[in-house]
Amino acid sequence: MKLTTLRRLACTALACSFITLSLSTPGSKAAPAEKDSILDAMQFELDRSFEKLKKTGEVPVYYLGYRLYDVNSLYISAEYGALTRDAEPDHERLLNVDLRVGSAKVDNTHRRGDGDGFGFRGSSGSARMYVPLEDNSLALRHAIWLETDEAFKSAEQQYARVQANKEVNVSEEDSSDDFSHETAQSFSTEPKTFDLDRAKWQEIVKRLSAIYKDYPDIYSSSVIFTAKLTNRYLVNSDGTKIKDSRTDYRMYTMAQARAEDGMDLWLYDDVSAVRLDEMPGEDKLAAVVKGVAENLEKLRKAPKAEPYVGPAILRSKAAGVFFHEVFGHRMEGHRQKDEKEGRTFTKQMGRKVMPDFISVLDDPTLETLHDIHLNGYYQFDDEGVPAQKVTLVDKGVLKSFLMSRSPVQGFPNSNGHGRCDPRSNPVARMGNLMVRSEKEVPYDQLRAMLIEEVKKQKKQYGLVFDDIAGGFTFTSTRMPQVYSLQPLIVTKVFADGRPDELVRGVKIVGTPLTALEKIVCTADDDGTFNGICGAESGSVPVSASSPSLLVGTIEVELKDKRLDKPPVLPPPLHDKGTTKADESPTPPKS
């Protein structure tokens, strides 16, 4: 599990950090890839290797692809008005060799039945390595040559194990091919560049982090600014040739406090932009930091919640995370034919899986929604297939899965959802998951419906979840088919009209099928949660958009709690011996 101090969604027992990121390429249109020294070197070595390796060895190569990611990144962090990290801009290049032997029907990636049961499919012989940072064609070709050789030898061994396992294992339920045939693509965009004043952002981050000086009960806090530029190069033996570019800028803050009973509490918020001039001004960034601090102060003093089963409202952004975890991961195609996966919806195609007023789609081709940039936007996936809009559920009925180039029964081709980070191999992943409803009411009416449902169930109160940090879901048969979400802001809404009460210390738990069928109604207030999702193909940018949901039954349980009390001494600034923020404390009297 790769848990961080950021918003997180652990997916298939891995982390999924929801962080506001986005990409915009206004006016970008498909065009033939132009001459490029990196692409040319990759293409030359691919042609040379594929021509010879398809006639070499006991099991010749039938597919070869190269992915190269050129990544520049900057990271600045500060705490309490002082820089804690200000690394020089980092530059790295990562090469992936996607090599397959055998045939599209059965190749070296075929699931052998001896895996770990967490939904991981066999490797395509892909090797990850750092390659020369300079545009030196011969040096790059040499690196590609070495990694291709290693990938080929590994693939031959993998294929032998695949064949051996087929001799001793029972027949598979899904005998779909291991790889799909797709149309070659040619696409090129102009590379983006960094354009920022590093010294300026150092000072901004320091000033923002100093805001926490005014909150003595917050014992840990940070403000971080990051910038990232990724240039991606794809070539394969199908004839695909792609060069594109992505930039991301973001500022995020996190703060921690401890309640008197020892419970650790934390809150997080962030802002992002696809261009630096789209970042909010410092006043708005300061308001974000103050909002986190003030909400955390309120949360620290709030009473501890109790275990609960009953009606609740998931506000729009929280509802997006709910659908991402409860439903989205179970729509990823490769999970449908892996017999060590729970396959919750594999046999449900064409059947009703949620209320008939709900539809769900995933559309990575959509760049913005209600003027918000969507983090899951892209034009081509990491297998060189064009991004496509996919209707997963139409009026409650299951219609499709998210597909990479790994076919499943009834879905022989990719729909452009094969995604990965630079160090991983592509599998089917979400892009921009969106929930649509035909039963919408104003939010105030939805809240009134919550109170009526509370009275109907003879409960004292219902719950409203305003924000969710993330969570996790298990899809493997070796684990319970459950999900768990970590809410940040939870409020009790009382049936007798008492004022709402903020509470702390719960997490949402449940099983997918039960959760989805309990949706009663939605509001007309679509919201979008942008972030990063981590699963077996690494961390990829995603978004989840949904209206607020009224759920007839939701279950919460208490989260774990430390036994430590809050810090014994006050922070140095708030000690009685301290006079000013930037002065040393008065030495104690002897």
Burial of 82 (0-12, 13-18, 19+ CB in 10 A): exposed
**pLDDT per position as a tens digit, 478-488:** 555 566 677 88
Mean pLDDT throughout 14-34? 39
Dist CA 553 CA 155 (whole Å)? 49
**What pLDDT is stored for residue 337 in this prediction?**
83
Higher confidence at residue 474 or residue 206?
A: 206
> Going by DSSP bridges, is the β-strand pair 519-523/440-441 parallel, antiparallel, or unpaired?
parallel
Mean pLDDT throughout 227-236? 96
Nearest to 423 by CA among 89, 95, 115, 121: 95
Mean pLDDT throughout 124-137? 79
- Residue 245: CB atoms within 10 Å: 18
**What pLDDT is stored for residue 521 in this prediction?**
97
Mean pLDDT throughout 42-50? 97
124-133, 449-458, 511-520 — most confident range: 449-458
**pLDDT per position as a tens digit, 353-378:** 999 999 999 999 999 998 888 989 99
| CA torsion through residues 299, 302, 308, 314, sign | negative
Nearest to 134 by CA among 60, 70, 190, 211: 70
pLDDT-derived band of residue 172, with 50, 70 and 90 as boundaries?
Answer: confident
Specify whether the CB–CB gap between 459 and 494 falls below 8 A: no
Tokens of 308: 């609960």
Residue 546 clears pLDDT 50, i.e. is over it: yes
Residue 343 clears pLDDT 80, i.e. is over it: no
Higher confidence at residue 315 or residue 574?
A: 315
Mean pLDDT throughout 258-264? 87
Number of H helices, E strands in the chain: 7, 27
**What pLDDT is stored for residue 405 in this prediction?**
96
Cα atoms in the 13 Å half-sphere on the side-chain side of 546: 29
Tokens of 125: 């012989």
Residue 464 clears pLDDT 80, i.e. is over it: yes
Residue 130 clears pLDDT 70, i.e. is over it: yes
What values do phi and psi take at 40, rounded to 5?
-65, -40
Q: Kindly give the interhelix angle for 198-210 and 282-301, rounded to the nearest 10 degrees.
A: 30
Residue 566 clears pLDDT 80, i.e. is over it: no
pLDDT-derived band of residue 191, with 50, 70 and 90 as boundaries?
Answer: confident
Dist CA 266 CA 270 (whole Å)? 14
Query: Which CATH architecture is the domain 31-301 placed in?
Result: 2-Layer Sandwich (3.30)
**What pLDDT is stored for residue 512 in this prediction?**
67
Residue 223 clears pLDDT 60, i.e. is over it: yes
Name the one residue in this structure whose structure tokens are 């209707």. Answer: 391
pLDDT-derived band of residue 208, with 50, 70 and 90 as boundaries?
Answer: very high
Name the one residue in this structure whose structure tokens are 């030495």. Answer: 587
pTM score, whole prediction: 0.86
Task: Please give the mean pLDDT across all residues of the chain.
Answer: 85
Specify whether the CB–CB gap between 483 and 326 falls below 8 A: yes
**What pLDDT is stored for residue 524 in this prediction?**
95
| CA torsion through residues 346, 350, 353, 358, sign | positive
Show Cβ contacts of residue 152 under 8 Å, excluding neighbours closer than 6 positions.
Answer: 53, 56, 57, 61, 99, 101, 125
Chain-centroid distance, C-alpha 245: 19
Specify whether the CB–CB gap between 423 and 128 falls below 8 A: yes
Specify whether the CB–CB gap between 355 and 467 falls below 8 A: no
Q: What percent of the chain has pLDDT over 70?
A: 84
pLDDT-derived band of residue 477, with 50, 70 and 90 as boundaries?
Answer: low
Mean pLDDT throughout 341-345? 70
Q: What percent of the chain has pLDDT over 90?
A: 60
Dist CA 286 CA 289 (whole Å)? 5
SS3 410: coil
Dist CA 241 CA 231 (whole Å)? 14
Mean pLDDT throughout 534-548? 91
Residue 554 clears pLDDT 80, i.e. is over it: yes
Dist CA 221 CA 292 (whole Å)? 10
Name the one residue in this structure whose structure tokens are 């810090």. Answer: 567
Show Cβ contacts of residue 561 under 8 Å, excluding neighbours closer than 6 positions.
Answer: 261, 262, 263, 264, 505
**What pLDDT is stored for residue 578 in this prediction?**
56
Dist CA 259 CA 297 (whole Å)? 10
Name the one residue in this structure whose structure tokens are 């939605």. Answer: 522
Please report the DSSP string for 74-93 in residue order.
EEEEEETTEEEEEPPPEEEE
Specify whether the CB–CB gap between 488 and 559 falls below 8 A: no
Nearest to 437 by CA among 371, 525, 509, 363: 525
Amino acid at 444: D
Nearest to 239 by CA among 302, 294, 187, 309: 187
Dist CA 362 CA 377 (whole Å)? 10
What values do phi and psi take at 251, rounded to 5?
-125, 130
SS3 326: helix
Beta bridge partners of 91: 72
Residue 564 clears pLDDT 70, i.e. is over it: no
Dist CA 300 CA 260 (whole Å)? 8
**What pLDDT is stored for residue 105 in this prediction?**
95
> Going by DSSP bridges, is the β-strand pair 241-258/82-86 parallel, antiparallel, or unpaired?
unpaired
pLDDT-derived band of residue 544, with 50, 70 and 90 as boundaries?
Answer: very high
Residue 395 clears pLDDT 60, i.e. is over it: yes
Mean pLDDT throughout 237-266? 92
pLDDT-derived band of residue 472, with 50, 70 and 90 as boundaries?
Answer: low
Dist CA 36 CA 181 (whole Å)? 26
Cβ-defined contacts of 585-589 (< 8 Å, 24+): none
Nearest to 396 by CA among 440, 449, 433, 435: 435
> Going by DSSP bridges, is the β-strand pair 128-130/527-535 parallel, antiparallel, or unpaired?
unpaired
